[in-house]
Structure 1
Amino acid sequence: MINGLLSGCAPSETVSMRNEASDNLIQFHSNSVDHGSIVATTYGTVALTDKGAYFIEQHGAGFVSLMYSDFSTQRKFFVCSNPSCAHNTDACPSYIPIQMDYAHPGIMSLNNQLYFVQADQVGETHPYVIAVSEDGLNRQQIFQLPSSWCISSPYICKDNDYFYFFAEIVDSESGDSRTSLIQASVDNGELIEVFNFNSEDSAQYALVGAVDRQLMVVRYPIIGESEEYKYYLITPHGNISNELSKEPLYVSNNHDILAQLYSNGTLSTSVTKNGTANLAIKDLTKDEEFLVNVTASDLGLDKINSVFMRIPVPDCYILVVYDNQSMHEFVYDKTAKEFRPYTLEKHGDYASGSPDIIGEWEHYFILCTGDRNTKFDLYSADGTIDASDTIQITYALISKDDFYACIENYLPIK
């Protein structure tokens, strides 16, 4: 990016926009305006709001359904007020048509506004983001990508005026691809290529969240490199906090050290020569750091080979420890200042392992607790009906007291 001051004008910068028709870069100047704090989320089969949860589920062939659950009742309903509706045509506000019976859009919530996200091109449908009202009735396309683009980042971010995401862009003539940070206007869907990483660098880059008014990007290591991960903060105008040739936010050149991102900062873990795990949780918005040291004997283990820590929601800390060939999980109780074995389990037809925390509501955590095989009617061209099935993810609430005590008192959302 080339930044400068134009005589008699406000600060501006050169950014690039890709023209879908010509597939050529257009250079233009854009005033550096503060568009407010940036929020970040991922898209998938569930989106959480202050009122409850919205789900995308398959209940028939050729469409998926928008469902809603009020956490106080733990019941799921079609987003439809008509009691006689079969919920299988576009007359129903819960109806979402899909192609190829499986390529359905994801759903996400940003500041309690719902959006459908189609990350890849499906048939003739280009990738898009559509705003949808809570009752499913009003759907407005925010932006649509050219056919040679796809949304490649796990996160999509938004400030007052723009969406931000990583896109993989394929050159229509050469077939070469690159990964770029894209800014999409809320008002008119205009796509701006804000930042383009070095095309000679074969590493992978991904958008992984936001900190206040900056986007956080991770560089994944190349096989054979000494580094683990590198994190960078980038402004919406394409200014990177650390040049790629200089010291980044975090570099690990030791496989016993790992840094990760959580909502407002980073956490890093390391294991000393005597087997002590050092855990550092840094809040980038407050410039505060929370330090925890734990030994193998504290965890009831003989040895700590490596560790990493994750914070699924604020003030919930889960430690993953490897000793030789085994993996162990522990929950950190901040009040008691101790780790306890994380023994809750997923249940279902295919699921295994410990439940994933996807959010919190009042005195409860919201968990992904497993999956189940669900059947639906598949209508063939001659009118006959065949049974088909799909996998539905299952969710539940659990009180925070039960969670920290690892008591499996799930309240399933049905």
Structure 2
Amino acid sequence: MLYHLRKKFLCLSLFFLIISSLLSGCVSIEVASTHTESDDNLIKVPTDVTDYGPITAATYGTVALTDHGLYLIEQHGSDFVSLMYGDLATQRKVFLCANPSCEHNTEACTSYIPIQMGYAHPGIMSLNNELYFVQAAQVEDTPPHIAVVSEDGLNHKQIVQLPSSWRISSPYICKDSSYFYFFAEIVDSESGNSRTSLIQASADGGGLTEIFNFNAEDSAQYSLVGAVDRQLVVVRYPIIGETEEYKYYRITPHGNISDELSETPLYVSNNHDVLAQLYPNGLLSTSVTKNGTANLCIKDLTKDEEVLIAVTAFDLGLSEINSAFMRIPAPDCYILVAYDNQSMHEFLYDKTAEEFRPYTLEKHGDYATGTPDIIGEWEDYFILCTGDKNSKFDLYSTDGTLDTSDTIQITYALIPKNDFFSNNENYMIIE
């Protein structure tokens, strides 16, 4: 099956003119403000005009990938989780601890991370090849914070601390050479009212600056979804009663930041592809015509290049296409997700043959279903989330009685890229 594929080069100056056009109706805040530990109020300060280089984005969760390997957070006890290291060369997973006689269940162990039952565990992420812990909300006496972690797990240095009434409220955190950027829910200690704001946090000293308060003039909700080159990208969720569209906007976080949320969206999508349209230095857009043709557009913003792909339900072996979106989980890997009136279907796009074919790899485990998720690549392999399994740990009751409790451990594996594209389940489990 061959499909239409063509490239066209856009006018770079026109593109950036559209993006940077600042209209009077922009959602904005009059001036940036910063938080001090001595005062929960935000104090006005001048904006910063220094360029701090490209911005990278990541989500925090139970796994992070750096050039040195895979890092995971797993629960092994009722009151702690463990920092694990996955050696990709040997497919072995070990506690991040150098003591061969350690039982990895006390604070003497470098892999040991205390937790409180009933609270969210700390997350882990990799930004600019650095490893970080993220505690999104207050847990007993521990405030929300971001901490940098050394590769061997020996050193944890808290570099950003939020007030106890704040909460990191979206999964994406971005960073340039000097600052972190994230959304936070801020609760006023006197009135109890809350607002959601985009925060700039210094990586050297932890100073907090409120860049935008999106709820001030607009009843819609906004969320940070990543970064493209030197700009943050946020998505605007629809207001009740509006046409159900998600609109993407750029923000330049330095310079005259009070005026740089463009009124013209970078992209408008339907509700199926809200978090699937952004990848490093590029954007994906998808639309389905009335006759059921899916038009897929891949924009590379660094090369000013646009790839257009048109595919019909007949091409995919479906009766119809109600909605569709495309994602690029890793460079040169394109996955089309299409919905008909029955269910969801996934297809791999072969750029050489210019065709789609079914993506049929499966997850395996006690609960997992669906196709494996790509979380990164290493040499000639993709790193996949391939399933899950039940795991037990000791649980002591208040009277000292020993019992056991269950938790779910995610399973990860390598797969040669050729096997992936051939739908051959040659999983090399990291265990």
The offset of 1:240, in angstroms, is 5.6
Report deviation, 1:19. 3.4
**Offset of 1:241 from its aligned partner?**
4.7
Q: 5+ unaligned residues in a row in structure 2: which ranges?
A: 1-29
Mean Cα deviation higher: 21-30 or 133-142: 21-30
Aligned pairs (5 A) from 1:328-367? 328-367=345-384
Quote the offset at 1:174 in angstroms.
1.8
Instruction: Provide the aligned length of Structure 1 versus Structure 2.
Output: 399
- Displacement of 1:402 after TM fit? 1.1
8 Å Cα contact 1:106/1:117 also seen in 2: yes
Provide the secondary structure at the position in 2 that maps to 1:24: strand
Distance across 2 between alignment mates of 1:185 and 1:377? 40
Unaligned runs of 5+ in 1: 1-12
Partner of 2:135: 118
| C-alpha separation in 2, matches of 1:91 and 1:265 | 45
Q: 1:33 aligns with which of 40, 47, 50?
A: 50
CA distance in 1, matches of 2:172, 2:414: 24
What is the letter of the counterpart of residue 362 of structure 1? Answer: E
Q: Which residue of 1 aligns with 2:20?
A: none
- How far, CA to CA, are the matches of 1:35 and 1:257 in structure 2? 31
Change (3 A) 1:20 1:301: same
- Is 1:146 the counterpart of 2:146? The answer is no
TM normalised by structure 2 equals: 0.88
SS in 2 for 1:312: strand
Q: Tell me the C-alpha RMSD between the 2 structures.
A: 1.9
The Cα of 1:239 is off from its aligned counterpart by 5.3
Q: Secondary structure of the equivalent of 1:251?
A: strand
1:280 aligns with 2:317: no
Q: CA shift at 1:224, angstroms?
A: 2.4
Give the whole-Å Cα distance in 2 for the aligned partners of 1:343 and 1:276. 23
Q: Report the CA distance shift for 1:340/1:128 in structure 2 as closer, same or farther (over 3 A).
A: same
What letter corresponds to residue 288 of structure 2 in structure 1? V
Q: Secondary structure at the match of 1:104?
A: coil
**Structure 1 residue aligned with 2:27:** none
**1:397 aligns to what?**
414
Matched, 1:303 2:309: no
**Which amino acid in structure 2 is aligned with residue 226 of structure 1?**
T
Q: 2:116 aligns with which of 96, 99, 103?
A: 99
Report whether the alignment pairs 1:210 with 2:246: no
User: Quick one: distance in 2 between partners of 1:96 and 1:389?
Assistant: 18
CA distance in 2, matches of 1:102, 1:311: 33
* Corresponding residue for residue 58 of structure 1: 75
2:33 alignment counterpart: 16
CA shift digits 1:77-109 (9 cap, x unpaired)? 011111100011111111111112653200011
- Matches of 1:141 and 1:183, distance apart in 2: 16
Equivalent residues of 1:119, 1:127 under 8 A apart: yes
Query: AA paired with 1:66?
Result: L
Which protein, 1 or 2, shows the higher relative CO under an 8 Å CA cutoff with sep ≥ 6?
A: 2
* 1:267 matched residue in structure 2: 284
Secondary structure, aligned partner of 2:182: strand
1:359: Cα distance to partner? Answer: 0.8
C-alpha displacement at 1:349, in angstroms? 1.1
CA gap 1:267/1:118 in 2 versus in 1, 3 angstroms: same
1:227-254 CA-partner distances (Å, limit 9, x unpaired): 51111111122256553xx3221235x7
* Contact 2:246–2:271, Cα closer than 8 Å, also in 1: no
